[in-house]
Amino acid sequence: MRPAVTFADRPPATADLVVIGGGIIGCATAFYAARAGLSVVVLERRAALGTLTTPASTGAFRLQFDNAEEIELVREGVELFDAFEERTGLGGWDIGLNHGGYLFCSLTDATLERSRRLVERQRQWGLTDVELLSGDEARSRWPWLSPDVRGARYRAGDGWLDVKRLTAGFAAAASAASGIPDATPGGGATFVTRAGVHAIRVESDRVTGIESSRGSVSSPAVVVAAGPFTAGVAALAGVHVEIRPTRRHKLVLPDLPLVPDNAPMTIEEETAAHWRPAMRGALALFTDPETPAGEPHDPVPIEHDWAFGLLDPGSDHALARVAPFWREAWNGGAPTVHWFLQAGQYEYTPDRRPYLGSIGPDGLHLNGGYSGHGIMAGTGGSRRVVDLLTGAAGAADNPLRPDRPIQAREHDIL
């Protein structure tokens, strides 16, 4: 019998750890904390787990980052994805893992040079399987690429998965912590939905618990894993966190036969417009750098005209710039077939790297600020946060601590 998530109408009176937020990050945190032998309560404001920002993602992961720290976070996550059933004790649990690859396509010499410099740095960090391809070499593998593609970088080991199944798997494994291989005895997680947290109790500069719409919990430790709401939740403990929630859309085009079902995630370097095969069609995105940051939203408002920036071949970030079959899809009526939009928010930090670890009063920890990379980096990040709060890792060895010096870097385009 497959393990089920342990839900309760009210939280227990006490716990070793309270996790605020029941998305992919909160559930991954609960998994690692339960494995470490902690009693965990996860509080989710919405009616179900993983229903705000988590499902608005493409479920994609890549090691092609521009810094060694995030490469290692994602590498750890991918290693767990590859062995998910074994590592969680959930036999037969399918997370829809697909190593379909990531293909970054350059249309100009400037982005070709940027890719070359990036791959050189990646090789210094131990990422040695990223290929640099000429335009002709790329088209020999993917004939649907435009003749305007001058070159590409590709890593076959990147890919995507089913984010809902991954989230539910972490929650189920945390609930049945005794089934996790090598788990410390005594751990386990209880999940409470419709539980909005309205206070984090602090006494003598130490966290003592929380108060929620479903009841209070006494606990010496709280992890804030609230995605775009992280800053507001941390403020309940008197802590300022700089987070810039920024709306991002996802275009879902099921049953579009023109989309090659064996294509990799395909990205235009110049604009960051990208797509991958899904549901006999595609998922498509565009991370517009001009989108202003704003307040966190639930639900996130949708702007339907956004979709035509990807679909209309006349757009300056049209998918057809890299893959001309999208022009055929437009001319063949793609705008009138069944498609829909989802919207979430990236929670950008000033350097677009996550906040992991202790901040403010003793016992308060952050696990957020992944800047759009939570699915891929959140597994490794959650394990590190739990190691920090249990003392298995020291703060001095944490380059992603929330109070780190913020340094400018050449940001990822996605």
pLDDT in tens, the chain (414 residues): 567 899 999 999 999 999 999 999 999 999 999 999 999 999 999 999 999 999 999 999 999 999 999 999 999 999 999 999 999 999 999 999 999 999 999 999 999 999 999 999 999 999 999 999 999 999 999 999 999 999 999 999 999 999 999 999 999 999 999 889 999 999 999 999 999 999 999 999 999 999 999 999 999 999 999 999 999 999 999 999 999 999 999 999 999 999 999 999 999 999 999 999 999 999 999 999 899 999 999 999 999 999 999 999 999 999 999 999 999 999 887 666 689 999 999 999 999 999 999 999 999 999 999 999 999 999 999 999 999 999 999 988 899 999 999 886 655 667
Alpha-carbon dihedral angle through residues 80, 81, 87, 92, given to the nearest 10 degrees: -170
Instruction: Compute and round to an integer the Cα radius of gyration of the chain.
Output: 21
Return left, alpha or beta for 190; rule: phi > 0 is left, psi -120 to 50 is alpha, else beta.
beta
All domains in the chain, ordered by first residue: 17-92+162-242+350-397 (3.50.50.60), 102-156+245-348 (3.30.9.10)
Q: How far is CA 117 from CA 123, 132, 245, 298, in A?
A: 10, 11, 30, 40
Quote the pLDDT of residue 2.
Answer: 63
Quote the pLDDT of residue 333.
Answer: 73
Helix (H) or strand (E) holding 111: helix 109-124
Quote the pLDDT of residue 397.
Answer: 86
Residue 88, SS3 per DSSP: helix
Copy the structure tokens of residue 360. 């403010």
Quote the pLDDT of residue 413.
Answer: 67
pTM above 0.75, yes or no: yes
Quote the pLDDT of residue 410.
Answer: 58
Contact 267/104 with Cβ under 8 angstroms?
yes
The pairing of strands 159-160 and 60-61 is antiparallel
Quote the pLDDT of residue 173.
Answer: 97
Helix (H) or strand (E) holding 69: helix 68-82
Nearest alpha-carbon partner for 304 in 278, 338, 341: 341
Measured from the Cβ of residue 175, the count of other Cβ atoms closer than 10 Å reads 23
Burial bucket for residue 167 (CB in 10 Å: 0-12, 13-18, 19+) = buried
Contact 135/297 with Cβ under 8 angstroms?
no
Quote the pLDDT of residue 59.
Answer: 97
DSSP 135-179: HHHHHHH-TTS-TT--EEEEETT-EE--HHHHHHHHHHHHHTGGG
Quote the pLDDT of residue 407.
Answer: 81
Cα 221–184–369 angle (5° rounding)?
40
Measured from the Cβ of residue 414, the count of other Cβ atoms closer than 10 Å reads 22
